[in-house]
Structure 1
Amino acid sequence: MSERTDSYDQRWLTELETTLSHEFEAQTARLTELTADTGDPAEAHTNAALIAATRQSLDQIAGALRRLTAGGYGSCERCGTDIARERLEILPHARFCVPCQQKQKG
């Protein structure tokens, strides 16, 4: 385990990994349902947006799970500092600390 993940409670990280894994499974099932062809052209535009949002969610969850496995979870990808646990509790897939996220969007 890396020093970075040592700064977070191991039990919390284990629970987070379980929660993210369940969310990944749920989003995968949702994507399967959304991509089933209903034959209704009126739903095509709405479904396309839902599919895109679900795929983005899956990418974010998968990234968080990869960082957990690799030991880099909770480290800002821009400056390398620890991301506040409070931020990760609200946004478990966060890749940047708040200041770097603001710079990223700004």
Structure 2
Amino acid sequence: MNIDDPAVDQRRLADLRASLTAGYAAQSARLRELTELTADTGDPGAAYGHSALVAATRTSIEQINGALRRIADGSYGVCEKCAVRIPVARLEALPHARFCVPCQSKQHG
């Protein structure tokens, strides 16, 4: 889904941008909420769980931000490794995908 490609459905891209922007706002609010929760219960399991939630939320924000950046610069939907188009079905399932399936598989061996 390269924005320079005339075959791209601009409405779908606009809807995706709006959805990602809403997701970014929701995840940012979640991160603020999680970072404000600083009560130490003395339970190492709870502290670990809280840290994991904060890390996962930050990763989600980074992924959404990256997808929005790629939409803006016209590189959205193109594999960062081999430069082939990422199938629309993959992007619908994983809107922040940066790699096609074969390259993603090689990445994680």
Under a length normalisation based on structure 2, what TM-score does the superposition of the two structures give? 0.89
1:51 is matched with 54
**SS at 2:2's partner residue?**
helix
- 1:38, distance to aligned residue in structure 2 (A): 2.6
TM-score, length basis structure 1: 0.92
Q: How does 1:1-106 map to 2 (within 5 A)?
A: 4-5=2-3, 6=5, 7-36=7-36, 37-42=38-43, 43-106=46-109
Identical aligned residues as a percent: 52
Superposition deviation, residue 4 in structure 1: 2.7
Question: Where does the alignment leave 5 or more consecutive residues of structure 2 unmatched?
Answer: none
- State the Cα distance separating 1:39 from its structure 2 match: 3.7
Where does structure 1 lack aligned partners over 5 or more consecutive residues?
Answer: none
Structure having the higher helix fraction is 1
Runs of 4+ off more than 6 Å? none
Separation in 2, partners of 1:26, 1:35: 14
Residues 8, 85 of structure 1: 8 Å contact kept: no
CA displacement 1:28-68 (0-9 Å, x = unmatched):
00001111123434332211000000000000000000000
Give the whole-Å Cα distance in 1 for the aligned partners of 2:23 and 2:39: 25
CA RMSD for the aligned pairs?
Answer: 1.4
